[in-house]
Amino acid sequence: MVSLATDYCGATFPNPFILPSGIAQNIPEDHLRAEAGGAGGITAKSLTPEPREGNPMPRVIQVRIDGKPLGIMNSVGLKGPGLLKGIPLLKDLIKRSRVPVIVSIFGASISDFQILAEGMTAVKPRILELNLSCPNVSSEFGEPLGMGAKTAGTVVAAVKKIVGKMPVIAKLSPNYPGIGEIARSCEAEGADGIVAINTVGPGMVIDIRKRKPVLGAKSGGVSGSIIKPVAIRCVWDVYEAVKIPIIGMGGVTTVEDAVEMMMAGATLVGVGSATYVKGMTVYSELAEGMTQYLRENKITLSELVGWAHRA
Ligand code: SIN
């Protein structure tokens, strides 16, 4: 009997395909749509200390290469309700969801992360994600704290001190050298898991008729099929560097992509940009495809994780 149930940081996910942070915007409505589409878990949009209007429109666009829709670019700019209004919304999401909810926080400084972590002790999520890697707000806040091993580890240590036993995972960027070393520093400071990767870039698309960049913020993080090889390599590097489990994401659209991501080392697989192309039912499609793959290949999900490292 094939089972897709996956344990990650003490929570049981009915299948390994989860909504990453940054895709669904409104809490809880947009997030619950992913669950209705079959997602095995939900990550809420990263919460910031203060409410944020977000970057100018358009914020999310399709990237076409050679006429084919191969990617997405976003520069949402962490639009959101801020901590005070966010706490009841997150509590509501957790109450209404039947799958594990990962809550995500973004701070521009260690003290921001500490304030947010205090707030999360009231929310009590199953897992807390530290977004150390948003590429869309650096003109405002400078480079993300996850750009270096030392700062990333310092944030993890500061948050762990506040949230105690709550599992903490760090979402890392592909945009700085040494993702394995950064993951190792997070693990050494108490991180319970790693999320790899956030979007690549930032990148830019220019409308040649209007002769100007398409995104309102001009540039934004790149995701979707075009970044999959970068994501696979990053997950591979993190798996080689740490023992804590990985949520792998970046360009997963088909069951073959998911198998590849797991063979690189992912225990759970984030599926984000594919929802723009296939809709939220992409999660149940992947779950069905994975069940068939495991049956045909006579292997289990846990055997798939990191397989390529042992080959
Ligand atoms: C955004 O809100 O700009 C995206 C969030 C992220 O990439 O971390």
Backbone dihedral angles phi then psi of residue 94, each to the nearest 5 degrees: -65, -40
pLDDT of residue 1: 84
pLDDT of residue 120: 98
Nearest protein CA to atom 6 of ligand 1, as residue: 134
What is the distance in A from the centroid of ligand 1 to the CA of 104? 11
Q: What gap in Å lies between CA 152 and CA 132, rounded to an integer?
A: 7
pLDDT string in tens for the chain (311-residue length)? 899 999 999 999 999 999 999 889 899 999 999 999 999 999 999 999 999 999 999 999 999 999 998 999 999 999 999 999 999 999 999 999 999 999 999 999 999 999 999 999 999 999 999 999 999 999 889 899 989 999 999 999 999 999 999 999 999 999 999 999 999 999 999 999 999 999 999 999 999 999 999 999 999 999 999 999 999 999 999 999 999 999 999 999 999 999 999 999 999 999 999 999 999 999 999 999 999 999 999 999 999 999 999 98
Amino acid found at 244: I
75 lines ligand 1 (CB under 6 A): yes
In ligand 1, which atom is closest to the CA atom of 76?
A: 3
Q: What gap in Å lies between CA 189 and CA 279, rounded to an integer?
A: 38
3-state secondary structure of 137: coil
Strand order, beta sheet including 200-204: 60-65, 68-74, 219-223, 200-204
Q: What gap in Å lies between CA 71 and CA 225, rounded to an integer?
A: 6
Using a cut of 0.85, tell me whether the model's pTM lies above it: yes
Exposed, middle or buried by CB within 10 Å (0-12, 13-18, 19+), for 297? exposed
Tell me, yes or no, if 134 is annotated catalytic. Answer: yes
pLDDT of residue 311: 86
221 lines ligand 1 (CB under 6 A): yes
Q: Angle at CA 239, nearest 5°, toward 233 and 244?
A: 145
H helix intervals, the chain: 29-36, 82-96, 110-123, 138-141, 149-163, 179-188, 228-241, 255-264, 274-278, 282-297, 301-304, 307-310
What is the distance in A from the centroid of ligand 1 to the CA of 148? 19
Write the CB contacts of 251 (distance below 8 Å, at least 6 apart in sequence): 223, 224, 225, 226, 227, 228, 229, 231, 257, 273
pLDDT of residue 99: 98
pLDDT of residue 117: 98
Nearest protein CA to atom 2 of ligand 1, as residue: 78
H helix intervals, 50-178: 82-96, 110-123, 138-141, 149-163
131 lines ligand 1 (CB under 6 A): yes
Q: What gap in Å lies between CA 245 and CA 225, rounded to an integer?
A: 23
In ligand 1, which atom is closest to the CA atom of 199?
A: 7
19 lines ligand 1 (CB under 6 A): no
In ligand 1, which atom is closest to the CA atom of 198?
A: 7
Taking the alpha carbons at both ends of the chain, their separation in whole angstroms is 25
Q: Calculate Rg over the CA atoms of the chain.
A: 18
Exposed, middle or buried by CB within 10 Å (0-12, 13-18, 19+), for 31? buried
In ligand 1, which atom is closest to the CA atom of 134?
A: 8
Q: What gap in Å lies between CA 24 and CA 104, rounded to an integer?
A: 12
